[in-house]
Structure 1
C-alpha cells in the first residue's frame, strides 16, 4: 500500500504469464474491461463443526457486487506474503483470526468477466479455521453465514450457479484434490 496525501492507495502485484512479479499498479486502476494478470488469494474458513463461512460481497463493490462467494478474497500488497495477506484481510473484512492456515491450491488461476469488469488472477487458495462470530466490514461484505460444505458445493456446482465464478472453479479443484476432506480430517466416504 502506498500513501498519497495521507490517503492509503492499495496496490496489486502485476505478473508475467508464468506468474513472475513484474510490477505494481493501484488496485482501483487495475480492474476494468481488460485486466492485467495479477496476484490475489482466496480463503475458505471452516468452524469446528466443519461449516464454511460464506460471504456476500458488498453491493457497491466494482467487481461482482452482491455475489455470494467463499469466505474472503483479496490481493497481497507488494512484497507481502499471500498467507500474511489472508490473515490481514480476514481481520479487516470479517474481524476474525485465522487458525491452521493451509495452502491448498498454490497455482490456481482464473479469468472471468461480469458487467464489463474482468478478473484475471493467479489466486492461491487457502483453508483456515475459526470459531469466531464474523463482524463484516459493510464496505466489503454485505452478509456472512455459516453453511455446510456440502450445501456450498451443491450451490457452486449447480448448472445455473449464482456463486462467484472463481469459487465455482475452486470448489471443483478442492473436491478433485480431496483438500477439504483432508483439512477437516474426514474421509471422502464420510
Structure 2
C-alpha cells in the first residue's frame, strides 16, 4: 500500500473487506496473480435510439487483451468521483463526450482470472452514458482496438448465447442490466448512497 502519492503516478483505490477505502497503489503494479481488491467502474454508452457502443480491448492490454467488452472501463483516482472518471476515460479512450452519465448498478463486484493467472478483483459500479447525437468515435489504440454501434437487444442476445464472446465482467453485468428492463434508456437511476464506501469518500469531501 502506498501512503505518499507521487503526482506523476496513476493510482488505484484499494478496498477492504467492507469495500471501504484502505489505501492506494500504482495502477501499473496492481494486476497480477494476487491482485488486491480495488475500485473500478464500467460504462455502457447508448445513443438516443438505444444502440450500444461496444468495444474491443487493445491487443496489448495486461488483462483480457483483444476481448470484446462494454464501452469503457477504468479506475477513479484517489480524489476523483466516478462520474468524472467515466467522462475522462470516455474522452481518452474513445473521443466521446457524453451528455449524461448515470449510475445503474452501484453494488457490482466481481473476480476473474485469465489463463495465465492474471486476476481481476474489483468493486466496480456500472454507469450508463447517453449521447444526444451519435459522435464520431476515435478509438485510442493504446486502449481500444475497435468500436462499433449495435442494437442493445442484439448484443444481449449474443452474450446470452455465448458468454465467452465478451469479457467476464461484461457477461456478468449484462445479466444484471437485462434485469433492469429491455430498454436501456429507461433503466432506473440508482442513488449514490448505494455506492460502496470507497466510491463515496470523494463525494463526502465535496459537501
TM-score scaled by structure 2? 0.83
Partner residue, 1:15: 15
> Which piece of structure 1 moves more, 83-92 or 149-158?
149-158
Partner residue, 1:51: 51
Describe the SS at the equivalent of 1:111: strand
Report the alpha carbon displacement of residue 9 of structure 1 after superposing the two structures with TM. 2.2
The answer to whether residue 171 in structure 2 is matched with residue 171 in structure 1 is no
| Deviations 1:124-182 (CA, angstroms, capped at 9, x unpaired) | 0000112211101100000000011012112222245220000000011111133x62x
The answer to whether residue 75 in structure 2 is matched with residue 75 in structure 1 is yes
Partner residue, 2:128: 127
Give yes or no for contact 1:54–1:68 (8 Å, CA) kept in 2: yes
Of the candidates 149, 152, 176, which is equivalent to residue 152 of structure 2?
149
More strand as a share of residues: 1
> Which piece of structure 1 moves more, 50-59 or 153-162?
153-162
For residues 116 and 133 of structure 1, what CA distance do their matches in structure 2 show? 37
Higher relative contact order (CA 8 A, sep 6+): 2
Report the alpha carbon displacement of residue 185 of structure 1 after superposing the two structures with TM. 3.7
- CA spacing shift, 1:29–1:127, aligned 2, 3 Å: same
- CA spacing shift, 1:138–1:16, aligned 2, 3 Å: same
Partner residue, 1:113: 113
Aligned residues: 180
What pairs with 1:21-100 in structure 2 (closer than 5 Å)? 21-100=21-100
C-alpha RMSD of matched pairs (Å)? 1.5
Give yes or no for contact 1:12–1:38 (8 Å, CA) kept in 2: yes
Describe the SS at the equivalent of 2:165: coil
